[in-house]
Amino acid sequence: MAKLKVEDLKRIKESMKGTVNLRQGDYRVKVTVHMGTCGIAAGARKLMTALLEKLEKSGATDIILTSSGCAGLCNHEPMITVEAKDSAPVKYVKLDPDKVARIFDEHVAGGHPVAEYALSIGSETTY
Amino acid sequence: MQDLSLHILDIVENATQAGATLIEIDISEDIGKDTLQICIKDNGHGMDAEMLRRATDPFVTTRTTRRVGMGLPLLKQAAEETGGDLLITSELGKGTRVVATFRKSHIDRRPLGDMGATLTTLIMGNPDLDFRYASNLHEKEVEVDTRSIRKELNGVMTINNPAVIALIRDLFNKGED
Protein backbone atom coordinates (compact mmCIF):
# COMPACT_ATOMS: atom_id res chain seq x y z
CA MET A 1 0.00 0.00 0.00
CA ALA A 2 1.57 3.29 -1.14
CA LYS A 3 0.80 6.02 1.39
CA LEU A 4 2.29 9.40 2.22
CA LYS A 5 4.83 9.18 5.02
CA VAL A 6 4.49 11.57 7.93
CA GLU A 7 8.28 12.05 7.98
CA ASP A 8 8.24 13.19 4.34
CA LEU A 9 5.64 15.81 5.15
CA LYS A 10 7.67 16.90 8.16
CA ARG A 11 10.77 17.19 5.99
CA ILE A 12 9.12 19.50 3.45
CA LYS A 13 7.57 21.49 6.28
CA GLU A 14 11.06 22.02 7.68
CA SER A 15 12.33 23.09 4.27
CA MET A 16 9.67 25.80 4.19
CA LYS A 17 11.12 27.46 7.27
CA GLY A 18 12.71 30.82 6.50
CA THR A 19 10.88 31.27 3.24
CA VAL A 20 8.28 33.99 3.01
CA ASN A 21 4.89 32.42 3.35
CA LEU A 22 2.31 34.20 1.28
CA ARG A 23 -1.18 34.40 2.57
CA GLN A 24 -3.72 32.41 0.63
CA GLY A 25 -5.12 34.51 -2.18
CA ASP A 26 -2.00 36.65 -2.24
CA TYR A 27 -0.20 36.16 -5.53
CA ARG A 28 1.43 37.94 -8.43
CA VAL A 29 0.31 35.68 -11.26
CA LYS A 30 -2.56 33.23 -11.52
CA VAL A 31 -2.54 30.54 -14.19
CA THR A 32 -5.84 28.79 -14.87
CA VAL A 33 -6.02 25.58 -16.91
CA HIS A 34 -9.47 25.10 -18.44
CA MET A 35 -10.64 21.63 -17.39
CA GLY A 36 -14.05 21.05 -18.89
CA THR A 37 -14.83 17.75 -20.61
CA CYS A 38 -13.62 19.41 -23.84
CA GLY A 39 -10.34 20.59 -22.30
CA ILE A 40 -9.62 17.24 -20.63
CA ALA A 41 -10.28 15.32 -23.85
CA ALA A 42 -7.99 17.73 -25.74
CA GLY A 43 -5.07 17.27 -23.33
CA ALA A 44 -5.52 19.87 -20.56
CA ARG A 45 -4.11 17.53 -17.90
CA LYS A 46 -0.76 17.40 -19.71
CA LEU A 47 -0.63 21.19 -19.51
CA MET A 48 -1.29 21.07 -15.76
CA THR A 49 1.49 18.50 -15.30
CA ALA A 50 3.92 20.57 -17.39
CA LEU A 51 3.05 23.77 -15.52
CA LEU A 52 3.43 22.00 -12.17
CA GLU A 53 6.93 20.89 -13.14
CA LYS A 54 7.87 24.43 -14.20
CA LEU A 55 6.41 25.87 -11.00
CA GLU A 56 8.25 23.37 -8.82
CA LYS A 57 11.57 24.02 -10.59
CA SER A 58 11.13 27.80 -10.39
CA GLY A 59 10.56 27.67 -6.63
CA ALA A 60 8.29 30.70 -7.00
CA THR A 61 5.81 31.29 -4.18
CA ASP A 62 3.88 34.13 -5.83
CA ILE A 63 2.38 32.08 -8.66
CA ILE A 64 -0.96 30.30 -8.31
CA LEU A 65 -1.82 27.38 -10.55
CA THR A 66 -5.45 26.32 -10.66
CA SER A 67 -8.17 24.96 -12.93
CA SER A 68 -11.62 25.98 -14.05
CA GLY A 69 -14.41 24.58 -16.18
CA CYS A 70 -15.26 24.94 -19.83
CA ALA A 71 -14.74 28.49 -21.14
CA GLY A 72 -17.19 27.97 -24.01
CA LEU A 73 -14.48 27.86 -26.68
CA CYS A 74 -14.25 24.08 -26.92
CA ASN A 75 -12.71 24.09 -30.41
CA HIS A 76 -9.77 26.10 -29.09
CA GLU A 77 -8.93 23.65 -26.28
CA PRO A 78 -6.66 22.99 -24.52
CA MET A 79 -6.50 26.50 -23.12
CA ILE A 80 -5.04 28.41 -20.20
CA THR A 81 -5.61 31.93 -18.91
CA VAL A 82 -2.73 33.91 -17.41
CA GLU A 83 -3.68 36.75 -15.10
CA ALA A 84 -0.86 38.92 -13.85
CA LYS A 85 -1.86 41.45 -11.20
CA ASP A 86 -2.36 44.91 -12.67
CA SER A 87 -2.27 43.79 -16.29
CA ALA A 88 -4.76 42.36 -18.77
CA PRO A 89 -5.54 38.63 -18.56
CA VAL A 90 -4.44 36.59 -21.56
CA LYS A 91 -6.18 33.47 -22.89
CA TYR A 92 -3.90 31.06 -24.68
CA VAL A 93 -5.39 28.50 -27.06
CA LYS A 94 -4.57 25.18 -28.78
CA LEU A 95 -1.68 24.51 -26.44
CA ASP A 96 0.71 21.66 -25.75
CA PRO A 97 3.28 21.08 -22.98
CA ASP A 98 6.09 22.82 -24.95
CA LYS A 99 3.96 25.89 -25.59
CA VAL A 100 2.95 26.24 -21.92
CA ALA A 101 6.58 25.86 -20.86
CA ARG A 102 7.42 28.84 -23.08
CA ILE A 103 4.41 30.79 -21.74
CA PHE A 104 5.60 30.05 -18.20
CA ASP A 105 9.11 31.36 -18.90
CA GLU A 106 8.16 34.40 -20.94
CA HIS A 107 4.83 35.53 -19.52
CA VAL A 108 4.30 34.02 -16.07
CA ALA A 109 7.90 34.46 -14.91
CA GLY A 110 9.08 37.10 -17.36
CA GLY A 111 6.03 39.33 -17.64
CA HIS A 112 5.88 39.37 -21.43
CA PRO A 113 2.79 37.76 -23.04
CA VAL A 114 3.46 35.31 -25.87
CA ALA A 115 1.29 36.95 -28.52
CA GLU A 116 1.46 34.12 -31.06
CA TYR A 117 -0.41 31.63 -28.80
CA ALA A 118 -2.94 34.15 -27.45
CA LEU A 119 -6.60 34.12 -28.40
CA SER A 120 -7.25 37.58 -27.09
CA ILE A 121 -5.89 39.88 -24.48
CA GLY A 122 -8.14 41.41 -21.84
CA SER A 123 -11.45 39.54 -22.01
CA GLU A 124 -12.22 38.75 -18.39
CA THR A 125 -10.74 38.37 -14.94
CA THR A 126 -11.55 36.30 -11.87
CA TYR A 127 -10.22 38.81 -9.35
CA MET B 1 -10.97 10.36 -23.53
CA GLN B 2 -7.85 8.26 -23.93
CA ASP B 3 -7.95 6.47 -20.61
CA LEU B 4 -10.05 5.99 -17.49
CA SER B 5 -8.08 8.45 -15.36
CA LEU B 6 -9.19 11.25 -17.71
CA HIS B 7 -12.82 10.16 -17.31
CA ILE B 8 -12.33 10.23 -13.54
CA LEU B 9 -10.87 13.75 -13.72
CA ASP B 10 -13.88 14.86 -15.71
CA ILE B 11 -16.51 13.27 -13.45
CA VAL B 12 -14.86 14.60 -10.30
CA GLU B 13 -14.87 18.10 -11.82
CA ASN B 14 -18.71 17.69 -11.83
CA ALA B 15 -18.64 17.00 -8.12
CA THR B 16 -16.49 20.08 -7.45
CA GLN B 17 -19.14 22.16 -9.23
CA ALA B 18 -21.89 20.56 -7.14
CA GLY B 19 -20.80 22.15 -3.87
CA ALA B 20 -19.05 19.06 -2.51
CA THR B 21 -16.50 19.41 0.30
CA LEU B 22 -15.34 15.78 0.22
CA ILE B 23 -14.93 13.63 -2.85
CA GLU B 24 -14.09 9.96 -2.54
CA ILE B 25 -12.62 7.93 -5.38
CA ASP B 26 -12.30 4.16 -5.08
CA ILE B 27 -10.89 1.89 -7.73
CA SER B 28 -11.12 -1.83 -7.24
CA GLU B 29 -11.01 -5.00 -9.23
CA ASP B 30 -12.43 -8.46 -8.90
CA ILE B 31 -10.27 -10.95 -10.76
CA GLY B 32 -12.84 -13.75 -10.34
CA LYS B 33 -15.67 -11.70 -11.84
CA ASP B 34 -13.26 -10.02 -14.29
CA THR B 35 -14.43 -6.53 -13.33
CA LEU B 36 -12.76 -3.19 -12.76
CA GLN B 37 -14.89 -0.76 -10.80
CA ILE B 38 -14.58 2.99 -10.34
CA CYS B 39 -16.68 4.61 -7.63
CA ILE B 40 -16.85 8.38 -7.25
CA LYS B 41 -18.84 9.69 -4.32
CA ASP B 42 -19.39 13.30 -3.35
CA ASN B 43 -21.27 15.14 -0.60
CA GLY B 44 -22.49 17.91 -2.90
CA HIS B 45 -26.06 19.09 -3.36
CA GLY B 46 -27.15 16.04 -5.33
CA MET B 47 -29.76 15.70 -8.06
CA ASP B 48 -33.51 15.23 -8.08
CA ALA B 49 -35.10 12.32 -9.93
CA GLU B 50 -35.69 14.34 -13.09
CA MET B 51 -32.11 15.60 -13.30
CA LEU B 52 -30.79 12.13 -12.50
CA ARG B 53 -32.83 10.71 -15.39
CA ARG B 54 -31.31 13.25 -17.77
CA ALA B 55 -27.77 13.03 -16.43
CA THR B 56 -26.53 10.53 -19.02
CA ASP B 57 -28.39 12.10 -21.95
CA PRO B 58 -25.94 14.42 -23.72
CA PHE B 59 -28.65 16.12 -25.75
CA VAL B 60 -30.63 17.76 -22.98
CA THR B 61 -27.63 19.76 -21.85
CA THR B 62 -28.35 23.11 -20.33
CA ARG B 63 -25.29 25.07 -19.37
CA THR B 64 -26.91 26.35 -16.19
CA THR B 65 -27.33 22.88 -14.71
CA ARG B 66 -23.72 21.92 -14.21
CA ARG B 67 -24.49 18.23 -13.68
CA VAL B 68 -25.51 17.73 -17.25
CA GLY B 69 -23.13 17.49 -20.17
CA MET B 70 -20.86 15.13 -22.08
CA GLY B 71 -18.88 13.78 -19.13
CA LEU B 72 -21.29 11.14 -17.82
CA PRO B 73 -22.49 9.96 -21.27
CA LEU B 74 -18.87 9.43 -22.34
CA LEU B 75 -18.09 7.40 -19.23
CA LYS B 76 -21.30 5.39 -19.70
CA GLN B 77 -20.27 4.62 -23.26
CA ALA B 78 -16.75 3.61 -22.18
CA ALA B 79 -18.20 1.21 -19.57
CA GLU B 80 -20.87 -0.24 -21.86
CA GLU B 81 -18.37 -0.85 -24.65
CA THR B 82 -16.77 -3.44 -22.39
CA GLY B 83 -20.04 -5.07 -21.38
CA GLY B 84 -20.12 -3.10 -18.14
CA ASP B 85 -22.45 -0.37 -16.94
CA LEU B 86 -22.77 2.99 -15.24
CA LEU B 87 -24.89 3.45 -12.15
CA ILE B 88 -25.70 6.84 -10.67
CA THR B 89 -27.48 7.33 -7.38
CA SER B 90 -28.16 10.72 -5.95
CA GLU B 91 -30.08 12.38 -3.20
CA LEU B 92 -30.84 16.07 -2.96
CA GLY B 93 -28.79 17.67 -0.20
CA LYS B 94 -26.73 14.53 0.39
CA GLY B 95 -24.63 13.97 -2.69
CA THR B 96 -24.10 11.78 -5.68
CA ARG B 97 -22.44 8.43 -6.26
CA VAL B 98 -21.27 7.31 -9.68
CA VAL B 99 -20.19 3.69 -10.14
CA ALA B 100 -18.70 2.60 -13.45
CA THR B 101 -18.09 -1.10 -13.93
CA PHE B 102 -15.88 -2.43 -16.71
CA ARG B 103 -15.10 -5.92 -17.91
CA LYS B 104 -11.43 -5.84 -17.06
CA SER B 105 -10.13 -8.15 -19.78
CA HIS B 106 -12.33 -6.73 -22.56
CA ILE B 107 -10.30 -5.54 -25.53
CA ASP B 108 -12.13 -2.21 -25.54
CA ARG B 109 -11.50 -1.55 -21.86
CA ARG B 110 -9.31 1.53 -21.78
CA PRO B 111 -6.26 1.48 -19.53
CA LEU B 112 -6.53 3.19 -16.15
CA GLY B 113 -3.89 5.73 -17.14
CA ASP B 114 -2.12 8.22 -14.96
CA MET B 115 -4.16 8.52 -11.76
CA GLY B 116 -1.33 10.48 -10.13
CA ALA B 117 -1.74 13.25 -12.71
CA THR B 118 -5.52 13.19 -12.25
CA LEU B 119 -5.35 13.42 -8.47
CA THR B 120 -2.70 16.16 -8.40
CA THR B 121 -4.60 18.13 -11.04
CA LEU B 122 -7.74 17.90 -8.91
CA ILE B 123 -5.93 19.03 -5.77
CA MET B 124 -4.25 21.93 -7.61
CA GLY B 125 -7.58 23.07 -9.03
CA ASN B 126 -9.54 22.64 -5.81
CA PRO B 127 -7.18 23.22 -2.88
CA ASP B 128 -10.09 23.91 -0.50
CA LEU B 129 -11.81 20.57 -1.12
CA ASP B 130 -10.86 17.24 0.40
CA PHE B 131 -10.16 14.13 -1.63
CA ARG B 132 -9.89 10.55 -0.48
CA TYR B 133 -8.43 8.21 -3.05
CA ALA B 134 -7.95 4.49 -2.72
CA SER B 135 -6.99 2.02 -5.39
CA ASN B 136 -7.13 -1.61 -4.53
CA LEU B 137 -5.60 -3.19 -7.57
CA HIS B 138 -3.54 -6.28 -8.13
CA GLU B 139 -0.65 -4.25 -9.60
CA LYS B 140 -0.64 -1.48 -7.02
CA GLU B 141 -2.46 -0.15 -4.00
CA VAL B 142 -2.41 3.56 -3.32
CA GLU B 143 -4.16 5.54 -0.62
CA VAL B 144 -4.30 9.34 -0.37
CA ASP B 145 -6.45 11.37 2.00
CA THR B 146 -6.04 15.13 1.85
CA ARG B 147 -7.72 15.48 5.27
CA SER B 148 -4.83 13.76 7.03
CA ILE B 149 -2.21 15.53 4.87
CA ARG B 150 -3.82 18.88 5.69
CA LYS B 151 -3.80 18.02 9.39
CA GLU B 152 -0.11 17.08 9.23
CA LEU B 153 0.80 20.30 7.36
CA ASN B 154 -0.93 22.20 10.14
CA GLY B 155 -1.21 25.44 8.18
CA VAL B 156 2.57 25.74 7.66
CA MET B 157 2.00 25.23 3.96
CA THR B 158 -1.02 24.70 1.77
CA ILE B 159 -1.93 21.39 0.20
CA ASN B 160 -1.36 22.77 -3.31
CA ASN B 161 2.25 23.60 -2.53
CA PRO B 162 4.38 22.08 -5.33
CA ALA B 163 6.48 20.14 -2.80
CA VAL B 164 3.38 18.45 -1.34
CA ILE B 165 2.01 17.76 -4.81
CA ALA B 166 5.34 16.17 -5.81
CA LEU B 167 5.12 13.81 -2.80
CA ILE B 168 1.61 12.75 -3.80
CA ARG B 169 2.75 12.27 -7.40
CA ASP B 170 5.62 10.06 -6.27
CA LEU B 171 3.18 7.59 -4.70
CA PHE B 172 1.94 6.80 -8.19
CA ASN B 173 5.28 6.89 -9.95
CA LYS B 174 5.47 3.21 -10.70
CA GLY B 175 2.20 3.46 -12.63
CA GLU B 176 -0.95 1.57 -11.91
CA ASP B 177 -1.89 -0.11 -15.12
Query: The domain that contains A58 carries what CATH number?
Result: 3.40.30.10
User: What is the value of ipTM here, to two decimals?
Assistant: 0.86
pLDDT in tens, A81-123: 999 998 889 999 999 999 999 999 999 999 999 999 998 666 6
Q: What domains lie within chain B, and their CATH numbers?
A: 4-171 (3.30.565.10)
Distance from CA of B61 to the nearest CA of A (A): 13
Do A4 and B149 make contact, defined as CB atoms within 8 angstroms?
yes
Contacts of B60 (CB under 8 A, 6+ apart): B54, B68
- Domain that includes residue A105, residue range: 24-121
- Position A5 in a domain: no
- Position A70 in a domain: yes
Q: Which of B74, B141, B162 faces A2 most closely, judged by CB atoms?
A: B141
Higher pLDDT, B124 or A1: B124
Task: Say what percent of chain B tops pLDDT 70.
Answer: 93
Q: Which pTM was predicted?
A: 0.89
pLDDT in tens, A35-77: 999 999 999 999 999 999 999 999 888 999 999 988 888 889 9
